[in-house]
Chains A and B, each alone.
Chain A
Amino acid sequence: MIQIESVHIEEFRGIRDLTLTMNRGSFVVSGPNGSGKSGVVDAIQFALTGEIGRLRGAGTGDLNIAEHGPHVEKRSDPEAASVRLEVYIPHLKKSATITRSIKKCKQPVITPNDESIRAVFANLALHPEVTLSRREIIKFILAEATQRSRDVQTLLKLDDIDQMRATLKTTENKLNSEYQAARTQSESSQESLKRHLDLPSLNSEDVLVVVNKRRSLLGLQTIAELKKDTELSEGLASGETQDASSLTKETALKDIKALADAVESGSESATEENIRGLLQNVAKLDDDPSLLTLMKRNSFYQTGLEMVDNSNCPLCDSDWDIIELRAHLSERLEKSKYAKAARDQIVESGQKVSTEIIRLRSLIDSITKLPEVPLESSKSLSQWSGGLAAFSKSLTTLEGIVGAKERFQAGWVATPSSLIADLDAIRAKVQARPDKSATKDASSFLVLAQERMNNFRTARRNEETKKAGAALGKVAYKTYCDVSESALLTLYEEVEEEFGSYYRLINHDDEDDFKAKFEATDGKLGLLVDFHKKGMFPPAAYHSEGHQDGMGVCLYLALMKRVLGSDFTFAVFDDVVMSVDSQHRKQFCRVLKTKFPNTQFVITTHDQVWARQLRTEGVVASKSSVAFHTWTVETGPVLDEVADVWDKIDDDLLKNDVPAAAGRMRRHLEYVAADLADELAAKVSFRGDGGYDMGELLSAVIGRQGELLKSALRAARSWEDKVQIEQIEGLLKVRAEIMAAKQGEEWIVNKAIHYNEWADLSRNDFRPVVMAFRQLLQQFRCNKPKCDSWLSLIPRNDPVDLRCSCGSFRLNLKEL
């Protein structure tokens, strides 16, 4: 992950030209609604991912980056719209720059362009969740279980796990189907051999008895042991092994009977139950034709999900958002679940019929080989067998099975009308065969036994191979499910513990026993939370919206910490902190500061108090912020520079531009006066509209400072703390000098005086004014450059200390 050194934005969204220096630390962008804060968020997101979240999703159909990414004045010049980030990559200890323009939004310019840095940016492009908007935080909390499961899986990049599980399940099913077909083939060939040998079961002893009886008759050596390569007809002259099927009357009669029995009842009855279910589901399709579309699409979505493995479409190479597309396909799959169940039943029935077709064709083929079969009958049997093969092939697709509804209703075996008569005729001819000599008959018997034994052995070998494959497929699927479920269970336990600990830290005053529990079942992820020890409930059951929002942020932080670990070095919160209710903001700052000390948070907020609090609590350094004053189409955001305002005023004066310097100082004083009044709890007359006068605020702040210094002096004297007494007396002396100098320059805070009136002043006239106020404000802040924070009261109610955020300035206010 990265940390941002600086952001430079040009002609992008509502921003014309803006540079923000963040120095790898947390940074706050504050300003009223519509002042352009979100433009900064969009810019960072765009630079890292090439996307702008605000232009995607529901209700944004007419929006796109190419047309609506550039500033409205530059919409015909997408090349002018660009964002450059200077970043530091902690784990590589390298600095880098990424520049992305709207025109070439998929081709950022990265420097240095080395592989390790490109890999970092490529990884970041897969983590759009580093930018969290207010509308997104609640989705983890209020979503229904299935959606939450998806959202959490997307955030944790777990969708690959489901994908792999699906692949292994498909593998298991296919291998099992292959095994079932091989087993049927094997059983058919076994039946065929048993019929010939006239044995109810195949065991070595019985087989050898039957075979050796014929071999003895022929004067051949008997076989002592049946081995895998035993030739039952070994020793017969080569001419005797020809045309075996024509030589066995008894077996031929049995084969004819087996086919007649199968046609009469066997094959149809074996599939009767499946066909009934299949026809019921097909009837549903007749009632609701859209179900078939949904069934087809289910398969399409599943295939699509497997194909989404790159950032481009494999057909047309168009770019797509891989995360969004996967989420979309998963959602469609969920919606078509009902259709999938019906589809699975139909497909299973089709497979069952295919299995029976294998048996039936095996019987037909035995008959076709008999020499007594007349040409017409042979043709009819071959057509029937071929038709069954084609029918079986059609049953490999949903459409094929559904399209065969009428055949299933009429009887799928589709026995040729002439079959019974044909079989009778063939049987009569076989029976009419003249009896051969016992030796001739024995010879024929052995030849056919060997042929059928060979078929059986081949089929059994194939069956064993397929069986082993199916067993491996089953083990692989089960092992993966066990491993992934165990890992996810551990993961969820870690996340719920982490999530609970953040929430408890924020709400320690009223929910110190808070805990959360995920319930992961069958693609769903339920979330229950404790409510004041009254039980575990869904988050929305009893908690206020503010608390739910707080949970959203805490869960997000817990998930990010788990998914990125020490790589969670950067996140953007777009007006997210607003969701934390005002009583718990201080504690929220503590979570960010103590639990994520190495994470750079870029935070936008329209609440000035929040912005101040983030600085006061040390989440952001005092110079790491920018306040947008207002916004216009022509200028973009107008800034209240907090950090380097005095340098800019000096620049204005160097250019002899007194109105600019005065305007800048006035805005700055307006801004800091409110800040200081809040930090020091200065007393001003309450105004319902919050429109406090800057002069009134400053006066209250200065008065309050005097009171606090006097309190601190009294306390120091009571403790006989000579060091502090000396420090405070020094401060009071400087304060008196500053007050005297400021006395003559207070007109600056008089809002009745317009900026234009300052145009007549020279820069030398204005410098003393600047100096007076600069020194005045310096009295209220830590003089350590790294801290530079405003002094504030700790705690705010009944304060004990007046101190800065780093603690190097600290005055005790409590007397002995």
Chain B
Amino acid sequence: MATIQEDILEEFYKRLAEAEGFTEEKVEQFRAVFSSGKKSKAVDVIKALSENSQETLP
């Protein structure tokens, strides 16, 4: 039986995948951070969210 946390995480990833700005790759990075078996640190999450933007300005 899946734990409540596991259920919540799966739904969380599903909703992130539908959210604007979250690519499939980013969701997978999230999944990797939170399923590493260790307590997730903010710094790991920040890393997953702070990829360099390819956008440039005029």
- Chain A residues near B (Cβ < 8 Å): 156-158, 160-161, 163-164, 167-168, 170-171, 174-175, 178, 204, 226-230, 306-309, 457, 460-461, 464-466, 468-469, 471-473, 475-476, 479-480, 482-484, 487-488, 491, 563-567
Chain A residues near B38: list those with CB within 8 A.
309
* Residues in chain B near residue A204, CB distance under 8 A: 58
Whether the Cβ atoms of A168 and B16 lie closer than 8 Å is no
Between A and B, 7 residue pairs with Cβ closer than 8 Å are A167-B41, A167-B45, A230-B58, A307-B39, A461-B57, A465-B55, A487-B7
User: What are the residues of chain B within 8 A of A164 when measuring CB–CB?
Assistant: 5, 34, 40
Bits for B1-12, please: 1 = Cβ < 8 Å to A, else 0.
101110110011
A469 and B21 CA atoms in complex are apart in Å by 9
B16 to chain A, nearest CB (A): 6
Bound together, the chains give a CA A472 to CA B8 distance in angstroms of: 19
Bound state CA distance, A484 and B42, in angstroms? Answer: 18
B16 touches A457 (CB 8 A): no
A163-B39, A174-B42, A174-B46 known; A483+B55 contact, CB < 8 A: no
Closest to A568 in B: B1
* New A-B contacts (12) at CB < 8 Å, excluding given A157-B4, A475-B20: A158-B5, A161-B4, A168-B45, A204-B58, A227-B58, A306-B41, A307-B39, A457-B56, A461-B57, A464-B57, A479-B16, A487-B11
Assess whether A567 is in contact with B1, with CB atoms less than 8 Å apart.
yes
Residues of B near A491 (CB, < 8 A) are 4
- Residues in B neighbouring A157, C-beta threshold 8 A: 3-5
Q: Report the separation of the CA atoms of residues A204 and B58 in the bound assembly, to the nearest whole angstrom.
A: 9
* Nearest neighbor of A309 in chain B, beta-carbon distance: B39
Distance of A483 from chain B, by nearest CB (Å)? 5
**Is A171's CB under 8 angstroms from B46's CB?**
yes
The answer, among A178, A471, A473, A487, for a CB contact under 8 Å with B4, is A487
Tell which of B1, B40, B57 touches A565, judged by Cβ atoms closer than 8 Å.
B1
Contact B53 A461 (CB under 8 A): yes
CA distance A566 to B8 in the complex (A): 20
Q: Among residues 32 to 53 in chain B, which have CB atoms less than 8 Å away from a CB atom of chain A?
A: 34, 38-42, 45-46, 49-50, 52-53
Q: Is there contact, CB below 8 Å, between A175 and B21?
A: no
B9 CB to closest chain A CB (Å) equals 8
Residue of B nearest to A166 (CB): B42
Q: Which residues of A contact B46 (CB under 8 A)?
A: 171, 174-175, 469, 473
Q: Which residues of B contact A (CB under 8 A)?
A: 1, 3-5, 7-8, 11-12, 15-16, 19-22, 26, 30, 34, 38-42, 45-46, 49-50, 52-53, 55-58
- Whether A480 pairs with B12 at a CB distance below 8 angstroms is yes
Q: How far is the CA of A479 from the CA of B50 in the complex (A)?
A: 18
CB distance B16 to A487 under 8 Å? no
Closest CB in chain A relative to B44 CB, distance in Å: 9
Q: Are B4 and A158 in touch, CB under 8 angstroms?
A: yes
Distance (whole angstroms) from the CB of B35 to the closest CB of chain A: 12
Are A476 and B49 in touch, CB under 8 angstroms?
yes
Q: Return chain B residues, CB-CB under 8 Å to A479.
A: 12, 15-16, 19
Shortest CB-to-CB span from B14 to chain A, Å, is 9
* Contact indicator A306/B49 (Cβ below 8 Å): no
Query: B28: shortest Cβ distance to chain A, in Å?
Result: 14
Q: How far is the CA of A472 from the CA of B51 in the complex (A)?
A: 11
Q: How far is the CA of A491 from the CA of B3 in the complex (A)?
A: 12
Min Cβ gap A220→B in Å is: 20
For A170, the closest partner residue in chain B by CB is B42
Residues of B within 8 A of A483 (CB): 8, 11-12, 15
From A170, A306, A465, A472, give the contact of B52 (CB < 8 A). Answer: A465
- A226 to B1 Cα, complex, angstroms: 60
A contact residues around B7 at 8 Å (CB): 487
Asked if B55 contacts A475 (CB within 8 A), the reply is no
Which chain B residue has the least Cβ–Cβ distance from A473? Answer: B49
Which residues of chain B come closer than 8 Å to A469, judged between CB atoms? 46, 49-50
Given contacts A160-B5, A464-B57, A487-B4, contact A171 B49 (CB under 8 A): yes
- Inter-chain contacts of B12 with A (CB < 8 A): 479-480, 483-484
Report Cα–Cα, A461/B49, bound state, in Å. Answer: 16
In the complex formed, the residue of B with least CB distance to A226 is B58
The CA-CA distance from A564 to B4 in the complex, in Å, is 10
- A119–B30 CA distance with the chains assembled, in angstroms: 26
The 6 closest A-B pairs by CB, nearest first: A309-B39, A170-B42, A465-B53, A171-B45, A565-B1, A171-B42
Whose C-beta in chain B lies nearest to the C-beta of A456? B57
Measured CA separation A306–B41 after assembly (Å): 7
**Cβ of B22 and Cβ of A472 under 8 Å apart?**
yes
Minimum CB–CB distance for A567 against chain B, Å: 6
Given A476-B45, A483-B12, is A468 in contact with B53 using a C-beta cutoff of 8 Å? yes
A479 to B10, CA, bound (A): 12
Complexed CA–CA distance, A160 and B38 (Å): 11
Q: Which of chain B's residues has its CB closest to A565's CB?
A: B1
Contact of A475 among B1, B4, B19, B57 (CB under 8 A): B19
B49 contact from A167, A464, A472, Cβ within 8 A: A472
Provide the bound-state CA to CA distance between A460 and B55, in Å: 10
Chain B residue numbers with a CB within 8 Å of A158 are 4-5
Q: Is the CB of A476 within 8 A of B16?
A: yes
Contacts of B3 in A (CB 8 A): 157, 563
> From A306, which residue of chain B is reached at the shortest CB distance?
B39
Task: Select one of B1, B16, B22 contacting A566, CB under 8 A.
Answer: B1
* Inter-chain contacts of B11 with A (CB < 8 A): 483, 487
Residues of chain B within 8 A (CB-CB) of A472 are 21-22, 26, 49
Q: When chains A and B are docked, how far (Å) is the Cα of A228 from the Cα of B45?
A: 31
Contacts of B8 in A (CB 8 A): 161, 480, 483-484, 487
Kindly report which residue of chain A lies nearest to residue B7, judged by CB atoms: A487
Closest chain-A Cβ to B55's Cβ sits at a distance in Å of 5
What residue of chain B has the Cβ atom nearest to residue A459's Cβ? Answer: B57
CA distance A227 to B39 in the complex (A): 46
Chain A minimum-CB-distance residue to B50: A469
In the complex, what distance in Å separates the CA atom of A306 from the CA atom of B38?
Answer: 10
A395 → chain B closest CB, angstroms: 20
* Nearest chain B CB to A326 CB, angstrom units: 11
Given A161-B4, A476-B45: A460 in contact with B57 (beta carbons within 8 A) = yes
